[in-house]
Structure formats: C-alpha cells, structure tokens
C-alpha cells in the first residue's frame, strides 16, 4: 500500500504542471479575451468593464489564485456555445468518449497482443513479415481517413454498418435512461436488448478506426518483448525443465513480456485520447472531443481549456492505473519504488 | 555397468548467414551411473553446445550431422518433442550459469519449483507446496518456508543457484548437467555450490556432467575429465591422472594456465594463438596451428584415438607420453 | 574501417531493404510536387467549375473533381507544399529547440536539468494532440500556430534524447580531455558533443516526420489553421467526407492517400536511416 501512496503523491507535480499550463493557455497569451467576451459591438469602456468582471485587470499571480480557487470549486467557467457551466457540459459528454475509447482499447489490445505474440513465436517467418508490414502500413493511416474509408465500405458499399449518426440512431431508438452515461451499459441496465445491440453496432466502426492506430505500437512492442523473453535464460530453464509449451509461452515468456507492453500503454492512451477528437468528428459522436472542436472553432476559451484540463487529468489517471497494474505484473517495480 | 549417457561420434554444425560453423565433430563421451564427468575447455570449444545437444535444446540454426546420443535407453536425437519434454526435468535436469537470470524474475521461486513438480511428479495439488519447500530444504537453504515466497531478485546469486539446483533435483533425475554452475559466484559460494552438487550426486547415485572452463575445479570434483578443443574431445582420463600426467599438448597448456594453490602468477602461462575459425576448412587436428609439437604426420587423415591405458585416451599423433 | 562499415550499411539499407529505395523515390516525388506544384498541376487548384461538379475520375480529371468542380489532382499536388512545409518546419524547430534544451540539461545538470525536465514532463502529461488543440485555440487559429503547436508537442522527444546522449558522453574520455584542454562549456558542447549526437537525432527526426504530418493534418481536418479554399490534404479529406453518403469516394480518398503516402514514406526513411547509422538496433 505504501507503493500506491507514493505513486499517488507522484502524480501531484504532473497535476500542478497541467494546471499551470492550462492557466497560461487561457490567461497569459496574446489576444484579448475581454475584447472577445465583450462582443463585436463593444467599445473601450465595455471591454474594460468585462476585463474587470473577469478579473483580467489583475496581476497574473492573483489571476492564478482565482483560477485555483475556481478549480477547487469545480468552476471551469461557462461555455458560450451552450450557455452551461463547462464542467456540466463535459461531465455530460464524457461517458460517450470513455465508452468509445474503451472499446477502441479493447480492440487494439485484443488484436495487437496476439499478433505480436504470434509473430514472435515464428520470427522471420512469413507470418512475422505480414504482421510487421501490416503494422507499419496501419501506422501510416490517419485515424480520420481510416474512419471515412470504413464508413464508405461498410455503410455505403456493403450496408453492413449502421448510418454514422453518432451513438444511436435516435429516429429508430430512444436513448436508455442515464445511469453511467454509456449507452451499452445503460441499455443493459434497462434490459433493453434492441437498444444495446443498436448502440453496440454504432460503436463498431469508430472503435475500430480509433483502435487501429493504437494497434501498431502494441503489436510492435509485444513482438519485441516476446522475442526477448522467449530467448531469455529463464525460458531456456523452463524448457530444460520439460514444462509444457503452453505454460512456457504464457507463464514464463508472456507474463514477462507484459511489463514493456504495459509501459507502452501510456503512449497508446495519449494516441487514443487525442485521436478521439478526430473520430468523434467523423462519426458525429457526441463526446467531449466533438464538443471541444466546436468550442475551438467558436473561440469558446473556457470550454476548450476545460476540455484540455479534463483530458490531461484523465490521462494522468490512466497512467496511474497502468503503473499500478505494472506492480501487479512485476514485483520488482514495487520493490524499487 | 551400462552408461547412463553415451554420446557417440556426434557431429553438429550451425548454419549461419556467414557460413557453416562446424561446432562439434566426432564427439564421444559417456557418463556412468553415479559418476561425475567434467567437460573442460576454453569458451568457444563447444562444451555448452554439447550440453544443449544432450538436452535436445539446440539452437534453431543447429543441424546434427551424425552420431548418436543415448540417455537412459532413449535415442535423444530421434525422440519426439513430447518424449523429450517428458524426460527433461524428470530424468534429465540442467542448471545454468548466471542463476539470477536463469530464474523467472517475476515468479516466486517456490512456485517455479512447483511448476516442475506439477508437470512431472504426479502429486496431489495440496502436496505441491510441501514438496517444493522440501526441495528447498534439501539444498540446505535456511528457512525454506520463507524462501518459498521470495522472488529471485530478493536472493543472492549463490542462493539463486541453490534454488536452481533444488529445481533440477526436485524430481530426482538420473543425470544432472551443470553448465558453468559457479561462474559469477564468489569463491566461497563456489565451493559451497560444488560441494552441494557432489553430495547430491553421491547421495542419490545421480550422474553429473559438469561443463566448466576451470580445469582446477573439474580436477577437484570430477571422477573423469574430457578436454575439449575447437569442437573436438582431445583427451579423456580419470581426473587425477589427467592432472598429473596429461598426454595431449593442449591439456598440458591448459594445466599450465590453471592457477593452483602452489602456483604463482608469474608461473601461469597463457595458451598461444586462438581457437581456429570453425567456418573454414580445418586440419584433422584442430590444435595443430597452436601446437609446438606439430609435425607433418599430424596432417594425415583421419586423426585416431590412442588408448594409453584402458581409461586414458588421447586424440593426438604425438602425445606427451605412451 | 569506419568507411567500409558505412558503405556496407548503405549497401544493406538499399540492397537488402528495397523499401528504403521506394521511400526515397516517393520522397523525391513529394518534394517535386512541393517545389513545382503550381507548375505541375494541370488546373488551377482554386478554380471552380459549375459544369463539372463531382466528376468521377476520368481522362480529363484523373482524381475527379470536388463539389465545387475543382480538379482534385491539382489540389492534391499543390497541397504538398503546405503539408510538408508545416511538418518539416515543425520538426526542424523542435529538433533545434530540443537539441539546445536537452544538451544544456544534460551538460549542466543541476537546476537547469531539473527545470527543463519538469517542463518537458508537463508537456508529456497531456495527450499530445489535445495539447496541440489547446495551444492553437489559445494562440489563434492560423497555420503558423499549427506549426508552433506541433513543434511544442514534439519538443520533449528531442530534448530527452539529446539530454540522455549528452549525459552519457559527458563522462567519456574524449570530452574529459577536451574540457581539461581548457575548452569552455559551449565549445565542448558544440565542437565535441553535438556532432556526435546529431546522427541518432536525425533518425528520430525522420521517424518523427510522419507523426508531425499526421498531427498537422489532423488539426486542419477539424478545421483549425488552414482555411478553405486553400488546398491542404487534411481539410480536403474533411470536405470530401460529406460526399461519402452519396458515394463520391474520390473526393476524400485521393487527398487521404496522399497523406498516407507521405507518412509511410517518412516512416520507411526513418527505418532505413536507423539501419544505416545503427545496424545493431535493427529489429
């Protein structure tokens, strides 16, 4: 438990850094938010009024204090586009993004790890080359382009996928009553199988497009880690001890390869959370990414900075979870900390 | 008495991108029940390749060119992978150098012993833990209950090697192959580990094949010693006789290069030249380029074995005696 | 000895690895488009044609036309300059910045190292594309700011790499010797350390180019930076996306394919370059 506490403390500098950066992004940059908030018809006096009201006439450290106090109260400001508090907007839309990211991650891991393991068990075979080639090709495809291609093929040409109208075709189905905010879970809670199936069907293409980009690093690192642990001394010991192949592959080689794979997950999360924005745009997904894009285009500062802050906090939390997982995988991590 | 292990005229090559490496050629060797046989040579002499070949764990690039390896009545070269896996760990066990990396770093050592017991010992599940602890106790690990829970990184190198030995002996094998078991350990620990291996072989009438570069160590613990050079076995003799009356020039040089309690650093001689490149065409005697006694007769094929006594053979046309 | 190894490595990179040759060919094609795009393009990329809207690929328009009747081939060719320009300038800037900051951190250690390290850690604490969005939103919606944002999010990779390399080399004999010979810190850095870490950093840079292209194109795909009707691959894909439902695939496939080609080319070049400079790291 000491380790968990230490690791939790370790996130504090990151959190402070993130808060400072979001503050700087919104307060200390060229451009005059006051002029913007005052609107196009404002004169010098009304701009000054807005500036005073927003506290922008005070020194940066004072503004920073106000910012911290506001954050502590969960006040991220109001969004111009929706007229709602930014935090409310974000919490409203977060489950949609998390649901999508989760399915994408599951897809990437479920495909990437077996691919990497398979390639590693037959190094330099045809399978290995095919795996590596497809992985490097996949890494060259922009997520949004993959999304569009999949829509074209599976919706327009084949008619297998539902229309890309977001999380649920609301003409045909009604959204389940909100419990977690994730439609797949909420529809299960409500016992509504049709809606569950429909929302799952809506998820398939965006999750695959998002996951494909994460696939490359996962498969690549799995292969490298497996090649290394299959060639390691302890795998040789296990073979010399006559352990069955499956046991050697899983308990000895794979469990040891998991640590590098877990370490690359941090980068994968960075990809996934970033590309989320693009995929939500392509599929009309009503998550925080789409919200942030419309906020950016409308120069809705508070909403954008709230989004950036929330994503950063989410990312820090995900990395924390990965680190904690690493200690479960490898006792040495716990020991060294 | 039938040999526990017999290697006959065994040849093996490695096919690499840069040519064929003739790693072992016409190697013959046997280990009797309860006997400790040392295989001694410089690194690159093929002694580890031989050990892995006996285990049936050759590198993917290895190709057997001829000969036979028989262990406890089983032809190791033609046996199925399933048959080999059944023998390994149960009747034939191996310990390695650098014990720390040879153990699974993220599995408790007790569990690693259990893995072997579960596979080979046909024990009910609830007895596995007790048996694993007993195996640790047998190699004189203090406080085995607590050590059972330890990860390799929590143990010293010597302790890790004891765990390796405990794993190897868990199923009371007929033959133990010890590949440089004390390399990297400090001198006191070396002696402890070697004493342990010797005591275990004596107690259980287990045969041991000790692979080492240290002729002194082999002389101290082995019944017989085979000297290897560049993929050839060049001399086999009872340990004491080999040390006192070496017949092969290479053995003599190895001896001169081996520190003993009485020798001084100045007295130590290094062996001139280096091992020949095994990818090229080689003379019948692969030592001839480094040999002071080399004469034209050495280049005549084939190079025969000469029996100096019923137990002492040398593969040299101009041996030091006899 | 060194020269022959290098020749052999070049031989390996090009001989056994034909893909590197392919990548070089693609790179030349892209650079040609970037340099002479306006001359090479068969049509004016901005010229609309009400009589030729959404024409499928044919002899006159090999890549078809978009919803405003503009020739897609011409737009794709002309866009090369902007797309490559954004990515290359961002990578060059982060290369230079990262090299300077990282060398300083690695060489001086202490507070310099801690402050720079902290700043880089903070950048890395964000999902990078999200941070880029935030930066563009704060600095203002322009192409220059896309370049700046892409530069900032790439900075930590170069900085850490340079820091690590400098740190290792600082203690090496020849640096010690240079220092004892009375060279000043800056001299030691520029004359003795930097030349040695440039080659591995070049590998990083070319592996990084593909990512920079994806990043800049992603930002313009969501409508940041580049304004219509400027031809740019990301925004063209985004414009073409609205034609999917009616099946005019060429409107987004060709600009998207150009992106893929460029990214793939730089990834291959990076791999090839790595093989060339450091054959041991071939995986």
pLDDT digits (tens, 9 = 90+) for A268-320: 888 899 999 999 999 999 999 999 998 888 878 888 889 999 999 999 999 99
Instruction: Choose among A13, A270, A281: nearest Cβ to C128.
Output: A270
**Contact: C138, A301; criterion CB under 8 Å:** yes
| Closest of B85, B57, B104, B161 to residue A253, by C-alpha | B104
Q: Which residues of A touch B90 (CB under 8 A)?
A: 242
Average of per-residue pLDDT values in chain C:
84
- Number of separate domains in chain A: 1
Task: Give the separation between CA C131 and CA C154, rounded to whole angstroms.
Answer: 11
Task: Give the separation between CA C216 and CA C128, rounded to whole angstroms.
Answer: 12
Show pLDDT as tens, one digit a residue, over chain B (322 residues).
478 899 999 999 998 888 889 999 999 999 999 899 999 998 888 999 999 999 988 888 889 998 999 998 889 988 888 888 889 988 999 998 888 889 999 999 999 999 999 988 888 888 899 999 999 998 888 999 999 999 999 999 889 988 998 999 888 899 999 998 888 788 888 888 899 889 888 888 899 999 999 999 999 999 999 999 999 999 999 999 999 999 999 999 998 888 776 666 666 777 777 788 888 888 889 998 888 888 888 888 888 899 999 999 999 998 998 7
pLDDT at position B59 = 82
Residue located via tokens 């290394």: A228
**Contact: A335, B120; criterion CB under 8 Å:** no
**Contact: A17, C238; criterion CB under 8 Å:** no
**Contact: A142, C234; criterion CB under 8 Å:** yes
C-chain residue closest to A295, CA distance:
C137
Task: Give the separation between CA A318 and CA C125, rounded to whole angstroms.
Answer: 11
- Side by side, the strands of the sheet bearing B207-212 are B92-95, B175-179, B207-212, B36-40, B224-229, B232-238, B312-314, B306-309
Per DSSP, C236 falls in state H
Structure confidence at residue C181 as a pLDDT band (50, 70, 90): low
Specify if A214 maps to a domain. yes
- Minimum mean pLDDT range among A245-254, B202-211, C118-127, C271-280: C271-280
* CA A39-A42-A46 angle, 5° bins: 110
C-chain residue closest to A139, CA distance:
C264
Task: Give the separation between CA A331 and CA A327, rounded to whole angstroms.
Answer: 6
β pairing state of B175-179 and B312-314? unpaired
* Overall size of chain A counted in residues: 337
CATH code where residue A166 lies: 1.10.3720.10
Ramachandran class of A306: left when φ > 0, alpha when ψ lies in -120 to 50, beta otherwise: alpha
Q: Which residues of C touch A151 (CB under 8 A)?
A: 244
- Minimum mean pLDDT range among A37-41, A60-64, A227-231: A37-41
The yes-or-no verdict on residue C3 having pLDDT over 60 is: no
Domain ranges for chain C, please list them: 41-266
Specify if A239 maps to a domain. yes
Q: Are B303 and B283 in contact (CB under 8 A)?
A: no
* CA A253-A254-A260 angle, 5° bins: 105
ipTM of the complex: 0.89
If one compares B145 and C183, the residue with the highest pLDDT of the two is B145
DSSP string, B200-234: HHHHHT-EEEEEES-HHHHHHH-SEEEEEETTEEE
Other chains touching C, judged by 3 or more CB pairs under 8 Å? A
Specify if A70 maps to a domain. no
Q: Do chains B and A touch (3 or more CB pairs under 8 A)?
A: yes
- Number of separate domains in chain B: 1
Task: Give the separation between CA C215 and CA C259, rounded to whole angstroms.
Answer: 11
**Contact: C214, A224; criterion CB under 8 Å:** no
Mean of the pLDDT values across residues A235-243? 91
pLDDT at position C41 = 83
A-chain residue closest to B113, CA distance:
A241
Q: Which residues of B touch A238 (CB under 8 A)?
A: 104, 115
Q: Which residues of A touch B107 (CB under 8 A)?
A: 251-252, 255
pLDDT at position A324 = 87
β pairing state of B306-309 and B19-31? unpaired
Task: Give the separation between CA A305 and CA C131, rounded to whole angstroms.
Answer: 10
pLDDT at position A10 = 83
Task: Give the separation between CA A292 and CA C205, rounded to whole angstroms.
Answer: 30
Q: Do chains B and C touch (3 or more CB pairs under 8 A)?
A: no
Token pair recorded at residue B137: 């106790």
Q: 3-state class of B307 per DSSP?
A: strand
Whether chain A has a CB inside 8 Å of the CB on B82: the answer is no
Whether chain A has a CB inside 8 Å of the CB on B94: the answer is yes
Residue range A103-150, pLDDT digits in tens? 999 999 999 999 999 999 887 788 888 888 888 888 889 999 999 999
A89: which residues sit within 8 A by CB, 6+ positions away?
A: A79, A82, A291, A303, A306
Task: Give the separation between CA B250 and CA B228, rounded to whole angstroms.
Answer: 9
Q: Where in the sequence is the domain holding B267, given as residue range(s)?
A: 3-91+173-314
Token pair recorded at residue B181: 């078991």
Specify if B112 maps to a domain. no
Residue located via tokens 């906020």: A295
Specify if A330 maps to a domain. yes
Residue range C139-163, pLDDT digits in tens? 888 899 999 999 999 999 999 989 9
**Could you count the other beta carbons within 10 Å of the beta carbon of residue B34?**
17
Give φ, ψ of A248 to 5 degrees: -60, -45
Q: Which residues of C touch A272 (CB under 8 A)?
A: 127
- Side by side, the strands of the sheet bearing B19-31 are B19-31, B5-16, B62-71, B74-75
Dihedral angle, C-alpha A145, A148, A149, A152, nearest 10 °: -160
Specify if B129 maps to a domain. no
Sign of CA dihedral C132, C138, C140, C145: negative
C2: which residues sit within 8 A by CB, 6+ positions away?
A: none
Which secondary-structure segment (H or E) carries C263? helix C250-277
Specify if B214 maps to a domain. yes
Per DSSP, B310 falls in state T
Tell me if the domain spanning C41-266 has CATH number 1.10.3720.10: yes
Q: Is the backbone peptide bond immediately before C82 cis, with ω within 30 degrees of 0?
A: no
| Closest of C149, C144, C114 to residue C130, by C-alpha | C149
Within chain A, residue ranges assigned H as helices are 2-27, 33-38, 44-54, 60-72, 86-121, 126-139, 143-150, 183-189, 193-230, 233-240, 245-247, 255-283, 288-297, 301-329, 331-336
How close are the terminal C-alpha atoms of chain C, in Å? 24
If one compares A171 and B246, the residue with the highest pLDDT of the two is B246
CATH code where residue B201 lies: 3.40.50.300
Q: Which residues of C touch A307 (CB under 8 A)?
A: 130, 134
| Closest of A220, A213, A296, A300 to residue A261, by C-alpha | A220
**Contact: B89, A240; criterion CB under 8 Å:** yes
If one compares C278 and A184, the residue with the highest pLDDT of the two is A184
The yes-or-no verdict on residue C226 having pLDDT over 80 is: yes
Task: Give the separation between CA B75 and CA B66, rounded to whole angstroms.
Answer: 13
Is 0.90 topped by the overall pTM?
no
Specify if A73 maps to a domain. no
pLDDT at position A150 = 94
The yes-or-no verdict on residue A94 having pLDDT over 60 is: yes
Structure confidence at residue C1 as a pLDDT band (50, 70, 90): very low
Q: Where in the sequence is the domain holding A107, given as residue range(s)?
A: 86-336
pLDDT at position A266 = 84
Task: Give the separation between CA B185 and CA A323, rounded to whole angstroms.
Answer: 34
The yes-or-no verdict on residue C281 having pLDDT over 70 is: no
> Could you tell me what percentage of chain B is helix, strand and coil, using 3-state DSSP and rounding each to the nearest 5?
35, 25, 40
- Minimum mean pLDDT range among B266-270, C81-85, C196-200, C269-273: B266-270
Token pair recorded at residue A223: 């292969």
pLDDT at position B143 = 92
């Amino acid at each position: 438990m000491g380790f968990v506490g230490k690791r939790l403390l370790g996130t504090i500098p990151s959190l402070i850094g993130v808060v400072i950066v979001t503050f700087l992004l919104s307060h200390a940059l060229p451009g005059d938010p006051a002029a913007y908030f005052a609107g196009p018809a404002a004169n010098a006096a009304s701009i000054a009024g807005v500036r005073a009201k927003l506290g922008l006439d005070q020194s940066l450290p004072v503004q920073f204090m106000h910012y911290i106090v506001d954050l502590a109260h969960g006040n991220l400001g109001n969004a111009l586009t929706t007229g709602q508090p930014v935090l409310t907007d974000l919490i409203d839309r977060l489950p949609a993004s998390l649901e999508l990211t989760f399915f994408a991650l599951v897809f990437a891991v479920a495909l990437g790890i077996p691919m990497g393991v398979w390639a590693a068990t037959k190094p330099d075979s045809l399978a290995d080359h095919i795996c590596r080639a497809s992985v490097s090709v996949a890494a060259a495809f922009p997520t949004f382009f993959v999304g569009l291609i999949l829509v074209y093929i599976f919706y327009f040409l084949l008619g297998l996928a539902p229309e890309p109208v977001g999380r649920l075709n609301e003409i045909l189905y009604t959204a389940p009553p909100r419990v977690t905010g994730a439609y797949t879970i909420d529809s299960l809670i409500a016992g509504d199988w049709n809606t569950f199936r429909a929302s799952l069907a809506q998820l398939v293409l965006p999750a695959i497009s998002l996951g494909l980009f994460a696939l490359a690093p996962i498969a690549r690192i799995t292969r490298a880690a497996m090649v290394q642990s299959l060639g390691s001394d302890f795998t040789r010991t296990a073979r010399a001890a006559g352990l069955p192949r499956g046991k050697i592959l899983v308990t000895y080689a794979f469990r040891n390869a998991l640590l590098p794979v877990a370490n690359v997950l941090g980068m994968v999360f960075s990809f996934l959370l970033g590309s989320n924005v693009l995929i939500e745009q392509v599929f009309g997904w009503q998550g925080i990414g789409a919200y942030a894009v419309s906020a950016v285009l409308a120069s809705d500062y508070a909403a954008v900075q709230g989004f950036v802050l929330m994503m950063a906090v989410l990312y820090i939390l995900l990395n924390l979870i990965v680190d904690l997982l690493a200690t479960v995988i490898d006792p040495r991590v716990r020991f060294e900390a | 008495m039938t040999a526990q292990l017999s290697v006959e005229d065994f040849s093996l090559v490695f096919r690499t991108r840069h040519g064929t490496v003739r790693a072992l050629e016409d190697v013959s060797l046997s280990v009797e029940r309860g006997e400790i046989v040392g295989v001694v040579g410089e690194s690159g002499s093929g002694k580890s390749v031989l050990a892995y070949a006996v285990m049936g764990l050759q590198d993917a690039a290895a190709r057997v060119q001829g000969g036979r390896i028989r262990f406890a009545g089983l032809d190791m070269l033609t046996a199925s992978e399933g048959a080999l896996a059944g023998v390994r760990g149960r009747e034939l066990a191996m310990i390695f150098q650098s014990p720390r990396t040879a153990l699974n770093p993220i599995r408790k050592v007790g569990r690693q012993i259990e893995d072997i017991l579960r596979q080979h010992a046909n024990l009910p599940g609830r007895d596995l833990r007790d048996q694993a602890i007993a195996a640790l106790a047998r190699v004189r690990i203090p406080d085995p209950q607590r050590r059972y829970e330890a990860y390799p990184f929590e143990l010293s190198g010597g302790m890790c090697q004891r765990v390796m030995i405990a794993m190897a002996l868990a199923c009371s094998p007929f033959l133990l192959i010890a590949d440089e078991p004390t390399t990297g350990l400090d001198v006191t620990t070396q002696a402890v580990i070697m004493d342990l291996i010797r005591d275990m072989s004596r107690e259980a009438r287990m045969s041991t094949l000790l692979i080492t570069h240290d002729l002194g160590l082999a002389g101290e613990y082995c019944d017989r010693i085979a000297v290897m050079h560049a993929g050839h076995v060049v001399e086999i003799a009872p340990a004491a006789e080999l040390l006192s009356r070496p017949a092969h020039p290479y053995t003599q040089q190895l001896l001169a290069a081996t520190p003993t309690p009485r020798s001084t650093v100045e007295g130590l001689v290094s062996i001139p030249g280096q091992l020949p490149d095994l990818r090229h065409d080689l003379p019948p005697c692969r030592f001839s380029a480094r040999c002071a006694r080399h004469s034209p007769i050495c280049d005549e094929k084939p190079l025969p074995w000469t029996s100096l006594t019923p137990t002492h053979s040398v593969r040299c046309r101009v041996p030091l005696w006899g | 000895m060194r020269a022959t190894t290098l020749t052999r490595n070049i031989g390996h990179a090009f001989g056994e690895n034909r893909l590197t040759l392919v990548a070089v060919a693609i790179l030349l094609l892209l650079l040609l488009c970037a340099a002479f795009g306006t001359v090479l393009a068969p049509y004016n990329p901005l010229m609309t044609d009400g009589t030729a809207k959404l024409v499928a690929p044919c002899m006159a328009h090999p890549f078809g036309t978009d919803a405003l009747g503009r020739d897609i081939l011409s737009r794709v060719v002309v866009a090369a300059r902007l797309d490559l320009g954004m990515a290359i300038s961002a990578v060059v800037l982060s290369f230079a910045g990262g090299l300077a900051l990282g060398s300083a951190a690695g060489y001086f250690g202490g507070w310099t190292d801690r402050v720079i390290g902290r700043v880089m850690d903070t950048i890395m604490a964000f999902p990078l594309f999200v941070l880029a969005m935030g930066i563009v939103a704060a600095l203002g919606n322009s192409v220059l700011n896309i370049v700046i944002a892409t530069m900032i999010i790439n900075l930590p990779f170069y900085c850490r790499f340079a820091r690590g390399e400098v740190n290792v080399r600082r203690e090496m004999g020849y640096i010690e010797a240079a220092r004892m010979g009375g060279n000043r810190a800056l001299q030691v850095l520029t004359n003795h350390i930097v030349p040695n870490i440039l080659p591995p950093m070049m590998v990083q840079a070319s592996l990084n180019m593909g990512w920079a292209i994806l990043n800049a194109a992603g930002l313009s795909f969501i409508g940041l930076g580049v304004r219509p009707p400027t031809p740019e691959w990301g925004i063209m894909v985004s414009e073409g996306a609205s034609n999917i439902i009616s099946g005019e695939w060429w409107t987004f496939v060709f600009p998207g394919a150009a992106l893929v080609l460029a990214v793939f080319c730089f990834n291959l070049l990076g791999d090839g370059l790595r093989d060339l400079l450091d054959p041991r790291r071939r995986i």
